[in-house]
Amino acid sequence: MLKNLRGMECWIVSKSDISLVNPVSTCLSSRVHYMVCELGFEIKASHAISTILSDNGEVYWRTITEHVQYGEPDHNVDYVRSVRSLGPLCESVHLHLQSLTMKQFTDQFVMWFQWTNCSEIFIGMFDTLKSPHTATMALNLMKLTSCLERALGDVFFLIGKDCPFLLRDLLASQELAMIFGQSVMDVLRVFIGSPDGLNLRNILWHGFASPQEIPVKYSSMLLFLTVGLGQVLKNYLLQTASTLVHRPYIAFTNLKELHVFSDLNHELFFLAEELVIKSSIVLRTMLPFWITALTSFRQNRYADCVILLLPQLENGLRLLFTTVNKCPSRLLTAESSSLYTTFDEMLAKQLSNEKVNQLPLVLGEPAMEFLWDFLNHQEGPRVRDHLSHGEISLNDFPREIANSVLAFSITLLCRFSKDDIAIIKEHTFLKPLMSCADCYSSQFHPIAKLKKQVLKCMKSLNLWSHLPVLPEEQEQVQEIAGSEKDIAAVACGCVTADILSLLQPYLSPNVGLLGDPVNSLLTEELLIELCNKHVRILFCPRSVLEIVVVLRQISTQCHQVLCQVISTCETRYKQWIDKSLRSRQRHNYLRLRRSIKLLFPILQLILILITLELINIHTACEKNPSEYQQYLKFLKLILQYAENLVSYTSPEKNKWDETVELTHKALIKIRTFLEEQLTLVQLAGYSPHM
């Protein structure tokens, strides 16, 4: 259904449909709203700070843990009673922290934040307690929870091996209970570790809570608890003579691929501020988050910008999701027994009731591919996951990613504006942005990665034509060529020609003799042309992805062969010139040069076959199970050949003569499969002129 949506305006929802939902004053369900905004204020009591904190800055954990309530007879945490009891304690802690100067705070507490490996985040949070700006306070709380989660994961590895991915599971682990004590972990679970508790981390990171809905005293309490955790940890490390090791942060690579849109300018920022107010997918209660995100980008605080944007992007898409799928109740936080409506479900093909999810149809392929690229694909940046779990250094967050996320968000604000979209889209500064968004294609889906691998292989293969050649090489190569090997090489050439003729109906007419230097350029042009063809990537069936995995493995092995040959050839040539090669090594080098002429057209052929199969990959769904398994077996045969080729051409083995026999056997099997018309390109009947 998504096949014909690329580059088209996919707005099938009227503005009035969305505006009906816009008056919503909160995205918290009644139970969650009561838990977060009211429950902790029901008991009017005060606690002397001296009962919670000693004069020398020691946190009295026993006073805090005594307020955690447990149910009968299972002795599980009673979250409602615990939040109600802890409320006044949080208020006392908050008032105390507010009474401190920055110097007093740092002198007494800064050393206890060092175990988190990001003390500046916690100090920055204290700075906002004095005169809290609600959006900034919520931002700092999100940063605190991600840093705290990362630090707790580091602590987990003191005695554990497989750190849980979810904070909920991490806080419930026996490993952390052994280090900090179960009662201490229960306190944390009340605040951030359970959907039955305050669940502050999740309701913020998933865009449910507006800035004014998070009581500041809970931020103060989490700051205070982090101090107490540092003190408990220090005692544990001294007792066990252990050392806490911090895992390295994840570094984004290939920033060029992530820099999707042109750099945002001041005019676009002014326009964005207008769009935020006019957009149908921005709830009025969430406006402070959007404005603060824009300000953060202008101030070069790129991590802050994206941390604020992603939950709001999720909130806006959830508003759209609930509208087009006619399930308005799912705009709110779910009860603890249900899952929240998050990106995972909103970007899925079907709803939980197996009905077709309408949101992908509304957004269209380009927008969906962008969201999957930046949020979900395993080889993509997975920005939200890495940020929310504290896996990225906030000080070194790339501008390129922030620019792309913000620019994409602006295009969505525009598409779902309350004003005339046609007029807005033609705005001088907005038009290039919208055009870029409409043309976006995936960079990180396995199919997109395979296309890049093929072109990378072809470029490496073309380098073979430019490898240095010895003046006397041609004559000496002929001297070492045995008649039997020559016959085998000629046989390989004949089979290669047969295979090419079988593929010729699916190729451009000017692609002829493989291995010819001129034709090599034509082959590269062909591969570029084929790789530019659109292949549907959203919601690929398992069978399609399984084939892509094997094709990628083949191209990876081919590239390894290409690199090995280039490296060996350049090294041996230099050694030959320097006269440092022994007789046997010279002989092997000449065999290598002879093998290049054989392997060059074979590797070209494999790259062409991979690409033709790729652009027809969805035809695999037409095969019955038996045919599908037969096809997979064929691909794995090519993979086995490529793997053996890697071994034979390695510097350690140098089995250049053996590659001839290996190649001949593989080519015969490939020809047989093609003669039986069993490839995807043959099944689809693809023509280059289609």
Considering only CA atoms, which of 671, 676, 664, 684 is closest in space to residue 630? 676
Question: What mean pLDDT is predicted for residues 663-690?
Answer: 87
- Residue 463 is encoded by which pair of tokens? 């380098």
pLDDT classification of 248: cutoffs 50, 70, 90:
very high
Distance CA 73, CA 81 (A): 15
Considering only CA atoms, which of 213, 188, 216 is closest in space to residue 203? 213
Cβ-based burial of 24 (10 A; exposed 0-12, middle 13-18, buried ≥19): middle
Amino acid of residue 122: F
pLDDT classification of 465: cutoffs 50, 70, 90:
confident
Amino acid of residue 37: C
| pLDDT score, position 469 | 79
Q: Which of 72-76, 190-194, 280-284, 549-553 has the highest mean pLDDT?
A: 549-553
Neighbours of 379 (CB within 10 A): 13
Same domain, 576 and 676: yes
CA atoms within 13 A on the CB side of 138: 29
Q: Is the pLDDT of residue 441 over 80?
A: yes
Residue 53's SS3 state is: strand
Find the angle CA(342)-CA(359)-CA(383) to the nearest 5 degrees: 45
- Residue 486 is encoded by which pair of tokens? 């020559």
Which positions ≥6 away from 53 have C-beta within 8 Å?
59, 60, 96
Considering only CA atoms, which of 667, 627, 650, 675 is closest in space to residue 565? 650
User: Any idea which residue has 């083995």 for tokens?
Assistant: 653
Distance CA 253, CA 250 (A): 9
Same domain, 374 and 522: no
Question: What mean pLDDT is predicted for residues 411-432?
Answer: 79
Neighbours of 344 (CB within 10 A): 11
Domain membership flag for residue 172? yes
| pLDDT score, position 685 | 77
Average pLDDT, the chain: 89
pLDDT classification of 148: cutoffs 50, 70, 90:
very high
Same domain, 64 and 157: yes
Domain membership flag for residue 1? no
Q: What is the DSSP letter of 243?
A: -
pLDDT digits (tens, 9 = 90+) for 92-138: 999 999 999 999 999 999 999 999 999 999 999 998 887 778 899 99
pLDDT classification of 523: cutoffs 50, 70, 90:
confident
| pLDDT score, position 425 | 63
Same domain, 182 and 105: yes
Of the residues 418, 438, 458, the one at which a domain ends: 438
Of the residues 388, 403, 438, the one at which a domain ends: 438
Domain that holds residue 261: 255-438
Domain membership flag for residue 11? no
Concatenated DSSP letters for 477-530? Answer: HHHH--HHHHHHHHHHHHHHHHHHHHHGGGS-TT---TT-HHHHHHHHHHHHHH
Q: Is the pLDDT of residue 143 over 60?
A: yes
Q: Which long-range contacts (CB under 8 A, 24 or more apart) does 329-332 make?
A: 331/21, 331/24, 331/27, 332/26, 332/27, 332/28, 332/29, 332/32, 332/208
Residues 312 and 293: beta-carbon distance below 8 Å? yes
Considering only CA atoms, which of 569, 551, 580, 574 is closest in space to residue 649? 569
| pLDDT score, position 114 | 96
Same domain, 178 and 327: no
Residues 389 and 310: beta-carbon distance below 8 Å? no
Same domain, 406 and 462: no
* Partners of 163 in beta bridges: none
| pLDDT score, position 329 | 87
Same domain, 65 and 186: yes
Same domain, 515 and 608: yes
Same domain, 431 and 302: yes
Q: What does the chain come to in residues?
A: 690
Cα separations in angstroms, 398 against 117, 255, 499, 629: 20, 8, 47, 44
Q: Is the pLDDT of residue 61 over 70?
A: yes
pLDDT classification of 418: cutoffs 50, 70, 90:
confident
Of the residues 421, 438, 455, the one at which a domain ends: 438
| pLDDT score, position 20 | 40
What domain count does the chain have?
3
With a pLDDT cut of 70, the percent of the chain lying above it is 90
Same domain, 288 and 209: no
Domain membership flag for residue 120? yes
Concatenated DSSP letters for 384-436? Answer: HHHHHTT-S-GGG--HHHHHHHHHHHHHHHHHTBSS-HHHHHT-TTTHHHHHH
Q: Is the pLDDT of residue 17 over 70?
A: no
Q: Is the pLDDT of residue 473 over 60?
A: no
3-state SS, 349-384, equals CECCCCCECCHHHHHCHHHHHHHHHHHHCCCCCCHH
Domain membership flag for residue 12? no
Question: What mean pLDDT is predicted for residues 170-180?
Answer: 97
Same domain, 270 and 165: no
User: Any idea which residue has 């429950």 for tokens?
Assistant: 39
| pLDDT score, position 253 | 86
C-alpha torsion sign, points 549, 554, 560, 562: negative
Domain membership flag for residue 420? yes
C-alpha torsion sign, points 550, 556, 559, 561: negative
| pLDDT score, position 131 | 72
Distance CA 384, CA 375 (A): 6
This prediction has a pTM of 0.91
With a pLDDT cut of 90, the percent of the chain lying above it is 71
Cα separations in angstroms, 195 against 169, 343, 351, 445: 12, 18, 22, 32
Q: Which long-range contacts (CB under 8 A, 24 or more apart) does 570-579 make?
A: 570/467, 570/468, 573/467, 573/468, 573/470, 576/470
472 vs 125, higher pLDDT: 125
Q: Is the pLDDT of residue 3 over 60?
A: no
Cβ-based burial of 59 (10 A; exposed 0-12, middle 13-18, buried ≥19): buried
Same domain, 390 and 517: no
500 vs 297, higher pLDDT: 297
- Residue 453 is encoded by which pair of tokens? 């691998």
Considering only CA atoms, which of 332, 534, 354 is closest in space to residue 445? 534
352 vs 301, higher pLDDT: 301
Cα separations in angstroms, 149 against 120, 185, 264, 390: 16, 13, 33, 7
Domain membership flag for residue 649? yes
Cβ-based burial of 567 (10 A; exposed 0-12, middle 13-18, buried ≥19): exposed
Domain membership flag for residue 469? yes
